[in-house]
């Protein structure tokens, strides 16, 4: 007994000396994600998210802390918080432009500030997810939306733009490695590169590369970030567009169980929910299909992006979104950014309610539902311990 007590004390001492990031503290019973050298906190998040899905789904919002419909860069502000009294549980951020050495991303968010926002959300117990609208090496003007066929092929090992692609990943690696919590530990990130891959609007989409090329791109990216750049704070999120009707369609470009931690899709509402229940029904079917795959493969699931622009339906949260998810067990649902008036689009562009918005009262009801998780809920869950 005394011996065991001594050993435990010794172990605790070692833990204190080496810090929480040391690999011997990794939970022996936990499953490892795609990156077998993932940091302790990343492995813990991966395992805790699996348990959390049984309790409810987290609510996420893109660029939540950076700006809202009527404000820009005011410390502590959040449209979601001003309506619900709580921050979202998941914070979405976007790296587009970082690969080209830009100081701000494609939506004007300075990477320096983004790093700070990521730290704030993480320190409060929230979860970070990151997307990447990488510029095409060919389409300087259209950026990620250039669909020149063969772009993916051109950045694969041995091809003309491969060295350039490595420099992009070098920039990303620097950013990921710079995300540190207050104890110096790397902040885990749900990385969702090459999103909506089954669509036809980005250079990595179905119309611009073969399934094989896409898989090689994915696997090389994982290999390069983890093995060559030693980035070990990422969980990898596979993300299709919202147009799939079968499991086969959803999986056509899936890069392999050993390269993916979470499967997800993006789906927005465009029709009038007062007149049509298509969004609810379709999302339900798709979550069913995705759920079956996830159960077979033991993967996490999410709705990577959703929303109804301007939310012109006062009870969209409880009548549409909540019903669309129903009883399905997913990790999170994230609504897109609250840009406010968008000069380029010539319209209001936002997906979360803000103070006094027509759907604010319903959002509070949605917040109060047992199965929706916001930041205070996930802080209690201690997802990184």
The binding site for ligand BMA (CB under 6 A) comprises 94, 106-107, 133, 336-337
CB of 106 to ligand BMA, least distance (A): 5
Q: State which residue, 97 or 273, has the beta carbon closest to ligand BMA.
A: 97
Q: State which residue, 266 or 319, has the beta carbon closest to ligand BMA.
A: 266
Q: State which residue, 18 or 341, has the beta carbon closest to ligand BMA.
A: 341
Helix (H, G, I), strand (E, B) or coil at 130: strand
Neighbours of 3 (CB within 10 A): 7
Q: State which residue, 107 or 252, has the beta carbon closest to ligand BMA.
A: 107
Q: State which residue, 130 or 155, has the beta carbon closest to ligand BMA.
A: 130
CB of 194 to ligand BMA, least distance (A): 14
Rounded Cα distance between 45 and 219, Å, is 22
Helix (H, G, I), strand (E, B) or coil at 346: coil
CB of 341 to ligand BMA, least distance (A): 12
Q: State which residue, 133 or 192, has the beta carbon closest to ligand BMA.
A: 133
Rounded Cα distance between 222 and 234, Å, is 9
CB of 105 to ligand BMA, least distance (A): 8
CB of 95 to ligand BMA, least distance (A): 10
Rounded Cα distance between 105 and 96, Å, is 5
Q: State which residue, 96 or 188, has the beta carbon closest to ligand BMA.
A: 96
β partners of residue 192:
131
Helix (H, G, I), strand (E, B) or coil at 273: coil
CA of 377: how far to CAs of 59, 192, 374, in Å? 11, 24, 5
Q: State which residue, 185 or 196, has the beta carbon closest to ligand BMA.
A: 196
DSSP character at residue 99: G
CB of 336 to ligand BMA, least distance (A): 6
Q: What is the DSSP string of 169-220?
A: HHHHHHHHHH-B-TTSPBPPEEEEESTTTTSSSSTTSTTTS-HHHHHHHHHH
Q: State which residue, 132 or 279, has the beta carbon closest to ligand BMA.
A: 132
Neighbours of 156 (CB within 10 A): 17
CB of 367 to ligand BMA, least distance (A): 24
CB of 270 to ligand BMA, least distance (A): 13
| Per-residue tokens: 37 | 């050298």
Q: Which residues contact 196 (CB under 8 A, 6 or more apart)?
A: 202, 205, 239, 240, 241, 266
CB of 265 to ligand BMA, least distance (A): 15
The alpha carbons of the chain give a radius of gyration, in whole angstroms, of 21
Q: Are 324 and 279 in contact (CB under 8 A)?
A: yes
Of 369, 320, 286, 350, which is closest to residue 59 (Cα–Cα)? 369
């Amino acid at each position: 007994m005394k011996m065991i007590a001594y050993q435990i004390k010794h172990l605790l001492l070692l833990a204190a000396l080496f810090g929480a990031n040391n690999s011997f503290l990794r939970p022996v019973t936990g499953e490892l994600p795609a990156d077998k050298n993932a940091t302790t906190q990343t492995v813990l998040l991966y395992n805790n998210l699996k348990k959390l899905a049984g309790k409810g789904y987290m609510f996420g919002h893109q660029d939540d802390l950076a700006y809202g419909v009527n404000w820009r860069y005011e410390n502590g502000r959040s449209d979601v918080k001003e309506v619900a009294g709580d921050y979202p549980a998941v914070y979405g951020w976007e790296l587009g432009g970082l690969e080209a050495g830009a100081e701000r991303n494609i939506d004007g968010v300075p990477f320096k500030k983004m790093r700070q926002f990521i730290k704030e959300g993480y320190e409060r117990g929230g979860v970070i997810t990151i997307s990447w609208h990488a510029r095409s090496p060919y389409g300087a003007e259209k950026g990620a939306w250039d669909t020149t066929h063969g772009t993916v092929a051109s950045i694969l090992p041995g091809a003309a733009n491969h060295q350039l692609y490595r420099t992009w990943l070098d920039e990303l690696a620097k950013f990921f490695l710079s995300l540190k919590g207050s104890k110096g530990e790397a902040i885990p990130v749900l990385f969702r590169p090459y999103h909506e891959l089954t669509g036809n609007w980005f250079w990595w989409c179905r119309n611009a590369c073969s399934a094989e090329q896409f898989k090689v791109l994915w696997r090389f990216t994982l290999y390069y970030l983890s093995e060559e750049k030693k980035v070990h704070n990422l969980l990898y999120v596979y993300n299709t567009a919202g147009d799939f009707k079968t499991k086969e369609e959803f999986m056509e470009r899936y890069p392999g169980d050993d390269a993916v931690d979470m499967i997800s899709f993006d789906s927005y509402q465009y029709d009038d929910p007062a007149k049509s229940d298509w969004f609810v029904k379709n999302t339900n079917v798709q979550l069913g299909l995705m759920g079956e795959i996830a159960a077979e493969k033991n993967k996490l699931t999410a709705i990577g992006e959703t929303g109804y622009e301007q939310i012109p339906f006062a009870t969209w949260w409880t009548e549409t979104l909540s019903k669309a998810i129903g009883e399905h067990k997913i990790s999170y649902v994230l609504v897109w950014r609250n840009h406010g008036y968008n000069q380029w689009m010539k319209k209001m562009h936002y997906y979360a309610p803000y103070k006094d918005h027509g759907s604010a009262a319903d959002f509070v009801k949605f917040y109060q539902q047992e199965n929706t998780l916001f930041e205070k809920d996930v802080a209690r869950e201690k997802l990184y311990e």
